[in-house]
Structure 1
């Protein structure tokens, strides 16, 4: 039996994850292709270096809500992927440019201690007047919560709240030398939208200024310029040389006869060749077939008699070219040449991006744009340049990029395709929460200050926490009480907005459980609405401590009452009376008291068929899934609180169908190597759980109709999937008829009946065949892997050239913390290669899309090249080790199929 002190020993966090992230950061720095990428990668390396230094010096305590030695909980830490604090504070560090400028304006000459002197200056008469002016005019920005502290002091002094001011200063004065507590002054943008008196709030995914900066960073790829040069000059010259040498054929041999009018044309071709070669240094040493053939043509023009070997080589090159592409004077050859040249004749995307950026500069940089259609129109005569003609059309990738600053309601942005996931929705809600909260103040200056501080606090990254600790709350800021004074909670606008957001999230993303970032934002909105909304976040399986906070037991009891006797309770075998008893305390049996949270953990262990003490990520995941089932992962409390049975009554049947389709998609389209299958099964099981809950909210007639629809959809699935998935479908049917199923679909259970076996007995690939990057060093050598990876990248380049695209955009991005990529990010050919390499190595997953071409990355190292134009001929010259065949990509959007 374990001793009490052993059970109470604090957990430790290994350094393996941190080391792996540092390795990725260093690799990104090594592979950076331009100055911007190098700067971004260097910043990542610096962050992880600070973390490792702090860990080595024992200055960091990861897993604690105060991970930096000596720093208070309210100080905003720099946090990297995984929730690790680096040891830096975001309000500290070197002076920012705007701080230096402010210091030069208001401080006496001299250097050193500028931050401390600026903090002290703000408490003097001149500085306090400056703060009051910022409050009234609203011309300031709060990047981190600390920057609102002295503004709060200024406002409280206006109200005569001297005791509160003294308390705030007592907490922060000691940090004056290192942290900034003053705001950044910014010009108030002309035309900045004022809050409407009523109705919907308008938001934007990115500000106009942010989109301008992104557009300005777009540059023409060197490869694009080379492609243009080759297709417009070298390729026609090569065709001319092939045509001329075909005229010299006699008795099956080239260069055996020269027609009377042949020499002038040949001399002109050779002169052009020599000029191009002088202008193209890279071609001087090239042994590409075009250069080689033109060199032989030059010998013929100079009167040199070719050797038999040289004539044989000319014949081989000409015959190979004519056999693959036809003879140069044929209609098919001319059509191919015309298509290739038209594909590169369009204006460079970088030049078009500059035009779009110039249009955006006319709008306030820190806001969105109401009418983006005017920004997406064709190039106007006064915008034309030497590279871009009037009437040129902005490509879809640029139009989509500009649309990211579109201003609209949440629903409008979702319908415009600018909010592709619930995580993206969570990024919008701080704007919404701040503006709703701002209306809770009678003093506009006070409302603006509260909204600014709250927006900055909502951007604070969560820490990795152990032992059921909670994240730092805004109320813990020493100046929070001053900000909260006179705030009116529970305004009708806030209450209505909270319910609308919840309904929108479930209506548009019915297959996805609400992720933690969205739950935090909903909790923040609930605070503005004066509502107590007990939401349970998803726990991480790798750091789960085997116990649940009391809020989980309360959520389980509420869900048990809400779902008692329903299809959901029958399907998952939930005993609502047992859940009610979770609130009964156990008698004390030893040094450590037994809390109700232990009851819930024990129940989840039993439901997962695990023994007490059984641990590890897989066991933890199974326990966490059971608590999500028992709590409905927040669906019960949301449906109950916002009366969603009535609000979503008309949408529920469609939500159920979409959830079922997502399950079928996840469990069929995922390639079957083991890790990928685990991920897909978990995603499918979670979508299934959502669907079962929605089914349970229907009346008898609605349930019968939806079950008939699901049976029809299931019958339309491939027969192999029907056989595998039949136990899950049969269980749902049994539960819908009042029984308890024998099989329940779970995400963290082996369930061998669901695995897609082949007749040979394994998942689609033989165990000895490598199928992903993690097999390097085990089933494939690094050298052999790189050969295959480079062949894939070469195929993508050839495909893009043939499809006439020089830019693709990131779409449906997953694992957003990696590489600083973002949804909708445009990529030139160099960027495409970098992202494709990361996708092939499982660093990220995404699709690369444009108007005419897409690249999709499947599991098991499958790659799908999709084009609306004929680009197949380009792949004929791809590396022969690739197995290329026609196939419909399973990742096509429905409207494209």
Structure 2
């Protein structure tokens, strides 16, 4: 198998589809397996070229391919979809054949152009993938007088008009300001709430409280009042009723197996009932019944006891609570009247307790929304990026990276004289950022937004001067990321956004993405060399250079034009992998590159990023993040588990950021002592780190590395 990773993903998806106890997960596994099967078949037939910027044979590079995990294309274009019901109705209304060519032509008529103009003015369209914005932008350019640019774009996309969807989907007008951010739209949150399933554990508890425990009390009450050896006809009748009730409960209650096990209290008492009804209730049975009753009385009291009654009242109250899924459906209905593709402005109103008008059989009036439901609604909270960070709606740097494209899109829109055209460009950009990256070989670069034919055409209507506003927004975004997550390296998606903003603002940087150890090609492109030299000019002679044992003078002499496995820069980074084996070698080489380049921290300083808290404060907070991660690593003991190794790696990365921030602030090593109290062993580790950092000012030390060996 030429591509074992792809085949292994196919195998895992098949396993999930065949064995998962969750039917929804089985369905998702089957869909993943089908996509991977399609990808493997396309590779085998030569329809897909793995590692190419235009991986699907016969499709130009600008077409958005369906891409699976790891960057493998399936051979299908995302815009290669059947006509929707709405599109079919449009064609029927216009008396046109049900083809994509006819649909595109329908939008380019006078009537269609008038419709597109109204959609542009009201932002009443949906651009799910970049291709959806092609005709929309062409219409905006034609309306703005840029006929040549519009016709050039249309001529390039027209050969695929019969195969791809190149037109927008009409939608209600947008009401949010362009710079408003949200993680999930109201429709996505509503769908998520409706898909909530009852928790098996919670429903089992509800079954026990509502069905089995009341029956247990009835059976215990029967036996606690039957002291004579002879049963009356009424006793036999009551025993038969209880036996029938038990059989019904076994049919109704399928979640609690405990009440069927022959060694549990209720089944023992039920078996004794059968013996009594059939006349086989001997002394051995009576002793077993007496033992069970004694255990019940010692544990919670018999049913008539005050303590037992209080316990049962509390259990009935708990059993009467609405299930999460019932409450979630009520909350979902609240969102149905909101604009479906925008965020939720009033989260507090959406998370209020259930009103009398909303009450259902499963969710009574006054029921508060459980935390699990509130968390899903919170994901739709809308606001500016600083507001969302301040409100705690951005829990990680990865989530921040999800939101920044909305900020970038708003800044790109501001670069056009025509607001409607700018808004269409912004919508296309947001869709482009949802495009998954490809697995590329030979240091090829990912397809860029500005290479889309309709975006190249829109450049004719762009303001000539770079937007200083975009540059400043990039600085603010970078500062927000550092303030919120000082001990976390910035994810690749966020790096891409910063590059876009700074390019739009006329700032040229050497930002670099994090490379994956399992697909590393053995060398680095020239961008990494340039980034390392920027860092060298900034950090030469600082604590950072001394602690990591760098020779920035040598870095500054490296040729910037040569890249690949045999380049001088790659050789310099390869020193990090000595003494290691397997994936750790690659990981250590990549980490050495990150140390030399500072993994974008130096580039941000050079771009003018200034955190409000100051570099010294960020250093302390990054140090505290280091301590937290060391504590997590210690919690895994001495194992070589993935979780422990990951915590150690992330701790070393956080420490690197702390050392960088301290070097920029020119602070003392002791400043990196965490202000928060940690377990004694973690405190000891941090003391050693700080001591090593201080010693490095005068003598070489062994730095803390994520892919090396370091005793926690």
Q: TM-score under structure 1 normalisation?
A: 0.72
Of residues 324-333 and 89-98 in structure 1, the stretch that sits farther from structure 2 once superposed is 324-333
The CA deviation string for residues 768-791 of structure 1, in whole angstroms up to 9 with x for no partner, is xxxxxxxxxxxxxxxxxxxxxxxx
The DSSP-based 3-state class of the residue aligned with 2:417 is coil
Tell me how far apart the structure 1 counterparts of residues 630 and 287 of structure 2 sit (CA, whole Å): 58
Q: 1:24 to 1:624 in 2, by over 3 A?
A: same
Of residues 166-175 and 61-70 in structure 1, the stretch that sits farther from structure 2 once superposed is 166-175
Q: 1:344 to 1:543 in 2, by over 3 A?
A: same
Structure 1 equivalent of residue 48 of structure 2: 60
Residue of 701, 706, 713 corresponding to 2:671: 706
After superposition, residues 333-372 of structure 1 pair within 5 angstroms as: 333-372=308-347
Q: Does 1:687 align with 2:687?
A: no
The CA deviation string for residues 431-451 of structure 1, in whole angstroms up to 9 with x for no partner, is 111112212222121111111
Structure 2 equivalent of residue 143 of structure 1: 128
Q: 1:283 to 1:662 in 2, by over 3 A?
A: closer
Superposed displacement of residue 334, structure 1: 4.0
Tell me how far apart the structure 1 counterparts of residues 545 and 443 of structure 2 sit (CA, whole Å): 28
After superposition, residues 373-452 of structure 1 pair within 5 angstroms as: 373-452=348-427
Preserved CA contact (<8 Å) 1:556 1:631? yes
Q: Does 1:236 align with 2:214?
A: yes
- CA-based RMSD: 3.2
Structure 1 equivalent of residue 711 of structure 2: 754
Q: 1:265 to 1:532 in 2, by over 3 A?
A: farther
Q: 1:523 to 1:97 in 2, by over 3 A?
A: farther
Q: Does 1:743 align with 2:702?
A: yes
Residue of 276, 279, 289 corresponding to 1:314: 289
Structure 2 equivalent of residue 765 of structure 1: none
Residue of 552, 570, 595 corresponding to 1:601: 570
Q: 1:560 to 1:645 in 2, by over 3 A?
A: farther
Residue of 129, 132, 137 corresponding to 2:117: 132
The DSSP-based 3-state class of the residue aligned with 1:392 is coil
The DSSP-based 3-state class of the residue aligned with 2:461 is coil
Residue of 5, 11, 14 corresponding to 1:17: 5
Superposed displacement of residue 385, structure 1: 2.6
Tell me how far apart the structure 1 counterparts of residues 5 and 307 of structure 2 sit (CA, whole Å): 56
Tell me how far apart the structure 2 counterparts of residues 670 and 740 of structure 1 sit (CA, whole Å): 33
Structure 1 equivalent of residue 14 of structure 2: 26
Tell me how far apart the structure 1 counterparts of residues 572 and 253 of structure 2 sit (CA, whole Å): 72
Structure 2 equivalent of residue 566 of structure 1: 542
Superposed displacement of residue 671, structure 1: 4.2
Preserved CA contact (<8 Å) 1:553 1:597? no
The CA deviation string for residues 437-468 of structure 1, in whole angstroms up to 9 with x for no partner, is 21222212111111111111111110111211
Structure 1, gaps ≥5 residues long: 1-12, 196-200, 250-254, 586-592, 756-897
The CA deviation string for residues 795-833 of structure 1, in whole angstroms up to 9 with x for no partner, is xxxxxxxxxxxxxxxxxxxxxxxxxxxxxxxxxxxxxxx
Structure 1 equivalent of residue 493 of structure 2: 517
The DSSP-based 3-state class of the residue aligned with 1:417 is coil
Superposed displacement of residue 283, structure 1: 6.8
Q: 1:564 to 1:178 in 2, by over 3 A?
A: same
The DSSP-based 3-state class of the residue aligned with 1:85 is strand
Superposed displacement of residue 426, structure 1: 0.8
Structure 2 equivalent of residue 281 of structure 1: 251
Structure 1 equivalent of residue 155 of structure 2: 170
Give the number of equivalent residue pairs.
Answer: 705
Of residues 473-482 and 266-275 in structure 1, the stretch that sits farther from structure 2 once superposed is 266-275
Superposed displacement of residue 380, structure 1: 1.7
Preserved CA contact (<8 Å) 1:656 1:695? no
The CA deviation string for residues 204-243 of structure 1, in whole angstroms up to 9 with x for no partner, is 1111111111222234467755643432232122133234
Superposed displacement of residue 183, structure 1: 0.9
Superposed displacement of residue 39, structure 1: 4.5
The DSSP-based 3-state class of the residue aligned with 2:517 is coil
Preserved CA contact (<8 Å) 2:153 2:453? yes
Residue of 674, 677, 680 corresponding to 1:718: 680
Tell me how far apart the structure 2 counterparts of residues 105 and 665 of structure 1 sit (CA, whole Å): 66
Tell me how far apart the structure 2 counterparts of residues 732 and 266 of structure 1 sit (CA, whole Å): 84
Superposed displacement of residue 502, structure 1: 0.7
Q: 1:646 to 1:680 in 2, by over 3 A?
A: closer
Superposed displacement of residue 494, structure 1: 2.3
Tell me how far apart the structure 1 counterparts of residues 211 and 646 of structure 2 sit (CA, whole Å): 49
Tell me how far apart the structure 1 counterparts of residues 267 and 560 of structure 2 sit (CA, whole Å): 87
Preserved CA contact (<8 Å) 1:725 1:754? no
Which protein, 1 or 2, shows the higher relative CO under an 8 Å CA cutoff with sep ≥ 6?
A: 2
Structure 1 equivalent of residue 429 of structure 2: 454
Q: 1:320 to 1:18 in 2, by over 3 A?
A: farther
Superposed displacement of residue 506, structure 1: 0.8
Tell me how far apart the structure 2 counterparts of residues 223 and 649 of structure 1 sit (CA, whole Å): 48
Residue of 185, 206, 216 corresponding to 1:207: 185
The DSSP-based 3-state class of the residue aligned with 2:53 is coil
Structure 2 equivalent of residue 731 of structure 1: 692
Q: TM-score under structure 2 normalisation?
A: 0.90
Superposed displacement of residue 77, structure 1: 0.5
